[in-house]
Amino acid sequence: MEKLIAELTRLYLPPGAVQSDVLERHLSGKANVTVSLTTDEGLVKAIVIPYDKMGPGEDAQHWSCLCKVAEGLQADLGLPMPAVSTSSTNGYRLWLSFGEPVPAAQAQRFLEALHLTYCPDMRLASNTVGAPVELPPCLDPRTGKWAAFIHPGMGASFADESGLEMEPPLAGQVAFLEGLESISLEQFQQALDILQHAHNATTAVTPANMPTASAAVARRAEPAEGLLLKDATLEDIVKFLHSKNIEPTFRHLIPR
């Protein structure tokens, strides 16, 4: 539990966001609280982007949208790979971490420009940045299902049914977080400039004609091998989990 809390704090939680005893109860399924990622000064430590399934006929468009955004963050903007989680109720979440908190208004502008580029048809709430979030892993008492961080290659398998029916092992949750890096202020500002410059241009903006991040920033942000957002094969997933000393079962990870 201590290692999981340390990773969540390193990546997403601003100081004083939640008391340690409350957080431990939340992560163990004994309580369910939403967490604010915004400081009293209006700065955010992380952005959590919701991708909810709109209806039975959507045909996994929410997952496809998440993939476009996540790949654009890395391939076009040179940012570190974000974490992916499944919601306990409906859909997915994409987690962006900042090495130093950034102004919430600036983060919201970044998010809006990001979605205008990669997923313009998806509705995005004006208060997405700064809204209290469901911090995985956690149990929703209404649905009886767990929100949890997942291997990105497993995402498509949750398109029709969100959440886990069993508590995810802590070792597995730590494994999905410990190799991730936060976005530096330099990387964030450069990515924001790229997106804003592109949308101020007279030509239509697409990932193909959008200027990309510098090679130096992109090299620093290369995702860890085996964590690329893609439709991974079962062999890819098992190999990755075994490298973390985790024995996988269907949908559930059981530590050795």
Contact 146, 88 (CB under 8 A): yes
Highest mean pLDDT among 58-62, 150-154, 210-214, 246-250: 150-154
The pLDDT value recorded for residue 123 is 81
State both tokens at 143.
């649905």
Written in H, E and C, the secondary structure of 166-204 is CCCCHHHHHHHHCCCCCECHHHHHHHHHHHHHHHHCCCC
- Given pLDDT bands bounded at 50, 70 and 90, which one contains residue 247? low
User: Rounded CA gap, 88 and 67, in Å?
Assistant: 19
Q: Give residues with Cβ within 8 angstroms of 151, minimum separation 6.
A: 84, 176, 227, 232, 237, 240, 241
User: Rounded CA gap, 127 and 159, in Å?
Assistant: 25
Mean pLDDT along residues 25-54: 93
User: Rounded CA gap, 117 and 81, in Å?
Assistant: 18
The pLDDT value recorded for residue 207 is 53
Q: Pairing between strand 246-249 and 252-255? A: antiparallel
Residue 46: is it exposed, middle or buried by C-beta count within 10 angstroms (0-12/13-18/19+)?
buried
pTM for the model stands at 0.80
The pLDDT value recorded for residue 256 is 36
Contact 118, 72 (CB under 8 A): yes
Q: Which one, of 21, 13, 46, 24, lies nearest residue 138 by Cα?
A: 24
The pLDDT value recorded for residue 243 is 64
Containing 64, the helix (H) or strand (E) segment is helix 61-75
Q: Pairing between strand 43-51 and 92-103? A: antiparallel
